[in-house]
Structure 1
Amino acid sequence: MQLQFYPQRFTQSACATAVAAALLSASGSALAQQADGSEADTGKLERIEVTARKTVESLQEVPVAITSIGAVELEQKGISVLTELQQFSPNTTLQASRGTNSTLTAFIRGLGQQDPLWGYEPGVGIYIDDVYLARPQGAVLDLLDVERIEILRGPQGTLYGKNTIGGAVKYVTKEMTGDMTFNVQGTIGSYSQKDVKVTGQIPVIEDKFFIGFGYADLSRDGFGQYLISALPNQDLENYNKDLWAARLSMEFHPADDWFVRVNWDKTKDTSNAKGGYRLLPSLLTDAPVPDSVFDSYTSLPTFNEVTLEGFSWMIRHDFSDNLQLKYIGSTRESYSPTNIDFDNTPLDIFDVPAEYDDDNTTHELQANYSSGDFSLVSGLYFYDGESCGNFDAILGFLGRVAFAVPGLTREVTGCNNSESWAVYSQANFNLTDQLSLSVGARYTDEEKSAFVNNGLIFDNVYPYSGWIPGYERPTGDIIPQVLGTDTDGDGILDAPAVESWSRFTPRVGVEYQMSKDVMFYASYSQGFKSGTFNPRATINEPGVNPEIVDSIEIGMKSDWSDNLRANIAVFTYDHKDRQYIGIEGNSNDPTALLQRLRNAAETAADGIEADFTYVATDNLQFGLSVGYIDFEIKRNDAIPPLIGLSNTPELTYNFSAAYVLESDIGDFVFNANYYRRDDYLIFETSDLIQQDAYGMVNLSVSWESVEGDWYASLHGKNLTDEEYVIGGYDFVTRNDDGTLGAGLGGDTTLIGYYGDPRTIHLTVGYRF
């Protein structure tokens, strides 16, 4: 990682794409020899089923760029958390955010949302059994009782709605078989990792009523530690893990044409708040830059919590062989008190303790019809969500020096609530035996209300009493409401601000089935990210309009033979009315810090994604995925100006191999992959924190007994121990001579957060 910006390297990326095409040609030549019979032991591709269009289809029939990884592959590769899937999906970033283990940063094709503050909407939708997970807190899901993960790339504005301008990630859990099953597994590994997972199902009434359960307890020591803490009796582990998750499901089959499912799940993550790595020495303390990127300093408590709990239900009725009706509902809530030390020093230079509190309810009525040459998916959707929070930006050291007061805090509190409804439909017509047409549209109507309280307190304050040992929150401080509505005309804001937006998002596509195993498709689709209010407002500013993405995609889904699959997509999009919060005023003076949220930019991108699978023999398989994106800024009114894409390399690729070794005691499966990301920026407006290109090597071996009851696996991840930055904070100024000076808080706050180091872990399990 270097503190400088590199221009885009089109030539290198274009060459890499050409290499991928050459590999495809070489594979095709080899397979031609096999077809002639020169190599006898040839394996076959498997059929992969997905629900990208809300009906069960083969992956090769869906005219959408999609990556699907099933439960067996997840287990064999040792993929235990959602963020690891970015390696296998081109042009995809799924990473833990900067302050916690559980908050997700998600970008697909350069579209997403980095800031997890309440009120901001994601650009990539996360779904658990078709239930929308509205907030990034807790979205770094540990995989428990999963059937498959689907990553849909490109706008999904018709079937999945708002906030899917980049795409959608679908977490699909297993439906029960009706048999009595039980599975227990334990894992030990690097940094004293100790994981236990228990899953199973119980038939209560044969063929009618089943109960399923799952529980996981996951723990690990920190990759580093807090070298200095200003508070006594703190847990000094940094990047540790302490999490449990539970799930309970009930399925009822009252008749062959009825199905009812009810789920409850809860996750509680009490891992420590993550401390960042100082990329520059502090001007105000003598603590040096740590030797390890996982070491830090803090003046805050190290506790952190992310608690999620939700209920969901689905009722399905098959009226006939052609018509199916579903009702899907959910209610979810989350709560997270967190400590983020922006400056990562033992001084209270720039500390941000915060609380997030969210709840939402969804209802969806869906009808699926299929008959011969015509199929239809349509539905009604309703969402009601409340997202609230507060944070205290403590600048205590600055207050004592500049104002001779006990401390200084800018406190911000507020809520950003949403009610929306939508009606959608997507129809598919077979015009001939080879040519088909798909037409879809969604109409969304949304109303948002928001208020923000924002003001200065000349003391160090925390969200509630007891936040630090002996602390009692001062009384009598009134934080003025700065965003809202004056209902009685007295000049005082006393109610939330309210705005509404509506949007019609179409999709049209054409598919040509050249042969039984080769399909070409082209589509135009539109998606939007919801309009919103500025959760950091300092004045009564209006809400901003939705972001709009218009995308064209041309692709091929092909099985060139029984053992070669090549899926390729070429895309281009325009991203309009980008919401951007700009800093105005003197950023070294917290009393003059003004932030405005505007529709400030328009950008565009072109790219290509390719996934190849080659089954060389019954025992040997290779995979290659490549993603390339070329980015353009078309309008740039952001302050500071945009300079590139956030968290999005120009080039990503992954090469994998799997080999099955049969033996008298069971089968051994060896997996290896090499994953590479080109250099990328952390912030789209700054070149001070960027990650150089890097590659990662992972190796696994898994075993299953002949009877299928015992199994084990050994996994080595990031075996070359690459250090790669995934988040950060940038609060410095640039001097005229190019050097970096103090920013907000009076110090050089340039902070990086890093991905996992080399780890090795062993899993042993038993099932019946």
Structure 2
Amino acid sequence: MTVTLALLLAQTASQLPTAPVVAEPTPAAQDGTEDDAASGRLGNAQQSGGDIVVTARRRSETVQQVPIAISVIGGQSLADTGAYNVNRLTQLQPSLQFYSTNPRNSAANIRGLGAPFGLTNDGIEQGVGIYVDQVYYSRIASATFDFTDTERIEILRGPQGTLYGKNTTAGAINITTRKPSFTPEARVELTAGNYDFVQAKASASGPLVDDKLAVRLSASVTRRDGTIDNVRTGVRANAQDNKSLRGQLYWHATDTLDLTLSADYNQQDPDCCAQYYVRVGATQRPVARQYEALAAAFGYHPPSRDAFDRVTDLDTPLRAQQELGGVSLVGELDLGAASLTSVSAWRKWDWKPSNDRDFIGLPITTVSANPSQQEQVSQELRVASNGRREVDYVAGLFYFHQTIDTQGLQVQGSAASRWLLNPPAGGCTPTSTANACNPAVLNGLTSRNTIGFSNTSAAAFGKLTWHVTDRLSLAPGLRVNYDKKKGDYLSLVTTGSGATLDCSAAAQGLSSVTRDRCGVLAPQRYQPDFDDWNVSGDVTLAYDLSADNHFYATYARSYKSGGINLSGLPLGGDNLPLLATATVKPETVNHYELGLKNQFLDRRATVNVAAFWTDIFDYQATVTNSQLSVLRGYLANAGHVRTRGVEIDSAFRPTSRLNVYGNAAYTDAKYQRFTDAPCPPELSGGTALPIVNGQIIGTPAAAGTPGNSLPFCNVSGQRIPGVSKWAFSYGAEYGVPTNFGGNEGNVYLGYDGSYRSNFSSNPSESIYTRVDGYSISNVRVGYREGSRLNIFGWVRNVFDQDYFELLATQSGNTGLVVGQPGDPRTYGVTFSASF
């Protein structure tokens, strides 16, 4: 880990005269208590009416005065609502979307932007930055840990590249954990529920040397039985098994220098993640090669055709094992008029998965796994002015380097030939010699993939705030960024006998067996390379209409770095990789936003409104590989995507006993121009029509009818996947003051609800993969004594709403649609105490 800068800070500090501290007190030096105003108990800290201090702009400010669309969720709110990971934040923040088929294949989007919906591709950047105690987490997968000892979470919407080390074109999730305290304290939280759910969290903090050295230790364990019954293996799938440790050492070295050394380790080893039968839709494949006919050929039936019976027969063991952790050193030096901050960090992520990628209980693909080891180092050096001056500023330098090594393995089973190859007209008989009728053609066909990736990024960034008058300010920002990505993809394919598969034109011409094998798994080797400079910036005009009413207008010109495809390339007619698809161009973003932040009725009511319009050119979209047995997404550039909408965050405290909140997001996200997109399942699978001189020759079959298929589709005007047009979160808590055993407390009843309208779950909209809208209701009732004691019973998904988190299609356009159901009704009891 790079520590040179932090050591330099210490050396410099010893040579400087002592200066008075101008900035906010260091959190570590405070007593660690959390009052109601800061807790954000009902989903937004703004609801309490207090001056909530955030660090969204890398300095301490009150949230209502920050001219950014931002929501703050406090640690108490996370506990009360059961939002103990990024996924569950979506029930509190409508503008946040999170989708995951397993930790690696996870995506966090804000306002519909961030990462392409679908399978993860390591060769691109994520548009939503995840920061934990100022350290950037390079992959969303490395942020799928349980929140432990969290003080608050800030969700910033819109481009943030002039404020944060790594460029973030869609927004940022800024997680701040509780800091070491010089006042001894301890916290414990215990939860038990159905499905054998058990969660335990504990932390302790105190001084090692009075007023100089303090320590904080925290730990968390989460376990839950699976919600899906696998009748084949007898193991319940989609379980949870998470453990985490975190330690922090705070050194108040001098009156002007503070150093915080942090280390964390997280381990997850659940039986996860199952996607299984939802429905079947007709494609343009020959009828004999669609799901119903293929399943009938094996006499196969899924254990249930109702996904909410929650049973499956997946025949490949499921595993989502990962280890993640790291070390960071944060140095903060007060120079009087400004503060200098150094953030040095090293992080690792080790991924050991096992998936069933044919999604059914037949041995088609018996092994599908891409174990991956990732490491990153980062160094940020930042200077920010202290206090309010005529001109405030933040400026920084950032360096980031990441390496990824992946060892992919895919093995075809005994059912692969019949399922994946074209059977004879009369079907397979005992005397048939067709390749589809010979299990040995594909049985044991194995692809071993060795994938390397190196990603280097460096940037200089800064933002000025000129206070033109006491009410009016103008804040321009600038970022200069350099990115370099290099990859190495090698896929070696061997037959069931162990022979290396040769897919040269000559080899395929000599043998139909070779042609069929190459059509299923073809060897590939390519070495993509990308590097680029870009300059981006923004400007914000802010005006204080009054002490409690604020207006802002922002324009941002942002870039998302280009990328390289690291999941294998699509194949041409000769079964060779199309090298032109090895890289994707950078995204260019034009963003416009207007906002109003209002508090009234003596700050008992807060209503914040933001309207935005964002145009993205060369949008990095995930498209589907047409290889028969490979569930693989690769990247392409859509010409133009537009997202626009309005967001409302509101909270009210009509009486001291009642808190109410309501948040809404309207998001209209569409492909404005995407003329060569992959076609949806109902328009795919048939014989591809030829292209002559840029023109498609011939007439495609009707949707869902066997025959000819278009080579690509124009989806301009369609919604981009994963985005609900309407999303809401809402709730209330009512408390009655009590005196129990001489201690003043509250008996309370709380409700939290959320709603999301339907969304597309396929890169191109399909009638088969539309996820219906759904609403979730959660309730809790309990007794609380400030931050000292809280015990409550809870029920989540009270009405046992059936809903899908996402849907997907089986590779090869068989028409099978699979899904991942959301959690059913759960209930339990939580006890927490602070000492």
Q: Please say whether Structure 1 and Structure 2 have the same fold, judged by a TM-score greater than 0.5.
A: yes
Matched letter for residue 181 of structure 2: T
Counterpart position of 1:398: 416
Counterpart position of 1:553: 593
1:704 aligns to 2:784 (yes or no): yes
- SS of the counterpart of 1:158? coil
1:383 aligns to 2:400 (yes or no): yes
Counterpart position of 2:389: 372
In the TM superposition, residue 79 of structure 1 has moved relative to its aligned partner by: 2.5
Answer with 666-675 or 397-406: which moved more. 397-406
Counterpart position of 1:74: 78
Counterpart position of 1:447: 484
Alignment of 1:694-733 (within 5 A): 694-705=774-785, 709-731=788-810
Question: How many percent of aligned residue pairs carry the same amino acid?
Answer: 26
1:571 aligns to 2:606 (yes or no): no
Counterpart position of 1:426: 463
CA–CA distance in structure 2, aligned partners of residues 596 and 695 of structure 1: 32
Counterpart position of 2:525: 482
In the TM superposition, residue 758 of structure 1 has moved relative to its aligned partner by: 1.1
Counterpart position of 1:130: 134
- SS of the counterpart of 1:757? coil
In the TM superposition, residue 118 of structure 1 has moved relative to its aligned partner by: 2.3
Matched letter for residue 254 of structure 1: A
Structure 2 CA distance for partners of 1:163 and 1:141, relative to 1, 3 Å: farther
Alignment of 1:23-422 (within 5 A): 45-95=49-99, 97-100=100-103, 104-113=106-115, 114=117, 115-160=119-164, 162=166, 164-229=168-233, 236-280=235-279, 283-284=294-295, 285-289=300-304, 291-293=306-308, 294-320=310-336, 322-350=337-365, 351-370=367-386, 371-396=388-413, 397-399=415-417, 402=436, 404-405=440-441, 406-422=443-459
Counterpart position of 1:679: 758
1:755 aligns to 2:822 (yes or no): yes
Aligned with residue 628 of structure 1, among 666, 679, 683: 666
Q: Is the 8 A contact 1:161 1:527 kept in 2?
A: no
CA–CA distance in structure 1, aligned partners of residues 599 and 578 of structure 2: 58
Answer with 719-728 or 436-445: which moved more. 719-728
In the TM superposition, what whole-angstrom CA distance separates every residue of 1:308-352 from its partner, at most 9, and x where no partner exists?
0111110001011x2100000110001111112122222232452
CA–CA distance in structure 1, aligned partners of residues 748 and 330 of structure 2: 36
Higher strand share: 1
Counterpart position of 1:650: 725
In the TM superposition, what whole-angstrom CA distance separates every residue of 1:586-625 from its partner, at most 9, and x where no partner exists?
x36459x998643233111220001111110111111111
CA–CA distance in structure 2, aligned partners of residues 139 and 157 of structure 1: 20
Matched letter for residue 647 of structure 2: E
- SS of the counterpart of 1:605? strand
Matched letter for residue 395 of structure 1: Q
In the TM superposition, what whole-angstrom CA distance separates every residue of 1:400-432 from its partner, at most 9, and x where no partner exists?
763633322344331221111100010001101
CA–CA distance in structure 2, aligned partners of residues 99 and 290 of structure 1: 23
Matched letter for residue 698 of structure 1: N
Counterpart position of 2:9: none
- SS of the counterpart of 1:53? coil
In the TM superposition, residue 554 of structure 1 has moved relative to its aligned partner by: 0.3
Alignment RMSD (CA, Å): 2.4
- SS of the counterpart of 1:341? coil
CA–CA distance in structure 1, aligned partners of residues 186 and 110 of structure 2: 37
Matched letter for residue 176 of structure 1: P
Alignment of 1:5-20 (within 5 A): none
Aligned with residue 651 of structure 2, among 613, 618, 642: 613
Matched letter for residue 556 of structure 1: L
Aligned with residue 637 of structure 1, among 668, 675, 679: 675
- SS of the counterpart of 1:88? coil
In the TM superposition, residue 514 of structure 1 has moved relative to its aligned partner by: 1.1
In the superposition, the TM-score normalised over structure 2's length comes to 0.77
CA–CA distance in structure 1, aligned partners of residues 496 and 130 of structure 2: 40
Counterpart position of 1:531: 562
The number of residues matched between the two structures is 674
CA–CA distance in structure 2, aligned partners of residues 693 and 654 of structure 1: 14
In the TM superposition, residue 693 of structure 1 has moved relative to its aligned partner by: 1.4
- SS of the counterpart of 2:761? strand
The gaps in structure 1 that reach 5 residues or longer are 1-42, 230-234, 462-477, 485-496, 733-742
CA–CA distance in structure 2, aligned partners of residues 667 and 596 of structure 1: 54
- SS of the counterpart of 1:107? strand
In the TM superposition, residue 225 of structure 1 has moved relative to its aligned partner by: 1.8
In the TM superposition, what whole-angstrom CA distance separates every residue of 1:678-732 from its partner, at most 9, and x where no partner exists?
11112231422122111111112342347x6443122211111112212333136
Q: Is the 8 A contact 1:306 1:337 kept in 2?
A: yes
In the TM superposition, residue 568 of structure 1 has moved relative to its aligned partner by: 0.3
Structure 2 CA distance for partners of 1:750 and 1:155, relative to 1, 3 Å: same
Q: Is the 8 A contact 1:157 1:525 kept in 2?
A: no
Counterpart position of 1:517: 548
Structure 2 CA distance for partners of 1:83 and 1:588, relative to 1, 3 Å: closer
Q: Is the 8 A contact 1:198 1:216 kept in 2?
A: yes
Matched letter for residue 169 of structure 2: I
In the TM superposition, residue 479 of structure 1 has moved relative to its aligned partner by: 9.2
Q: Is the 8 A contact 2:622 2:763 kept in 1?
A: no
The gaps in structure 2 that reach 5 residues or longer are 1-46, 281-290, 419-434, 499-520, 570-576, 679-712
Matched letter for residue 569 of structure 1: A
CA–CA distance in structure 2, aligned partners of residues 637 and 596 of structure 1: 17
- SS of the counterpart of 2:141? coil
CA–CA distance in structure 1, aligned partners of residues 736 and 255 of structure 2: 41
CA–CA distance in structure 2, aligned partners of residues 418 and 153 of structure 1: 26
Q: Which structure is larger by alpha-carbon Rg, 1 or 2?
A: 2
- SS of the counterpart of 2:798? coil
CA–CA distance in structure 1, aligned partners of residues 48 and 657 of structure 2: 10
Matched letter for residue 413 of structure 1: T
Counterpart position of 2:769: 689
In the superposition, the TM-score normalised over structure 1's length comes to 0.83
Matched letter for residue 344 of structure 2: G
- SS of the counterpart of 1:287? coil
CA–CA distance in structure 1, aligned partners of residues 80 and 749 of structure 2: 8
CA–CA distance in structure 2, aligned partners of residues 503 and 717 of structure 1: 46
CA–CA distance in structure 2, aligned partners of residues 239 and 589 of structure 1: 27
Q: Is the 8 A contact 2:180 2:206 kept in 1?
A: no
Structure 2 CA distance for partners of 1:176 and 1:702, relative to 1, 3 Å: farther
Q: Is the 8 A contact 2:483 2:531 kept in 1?
A: yes
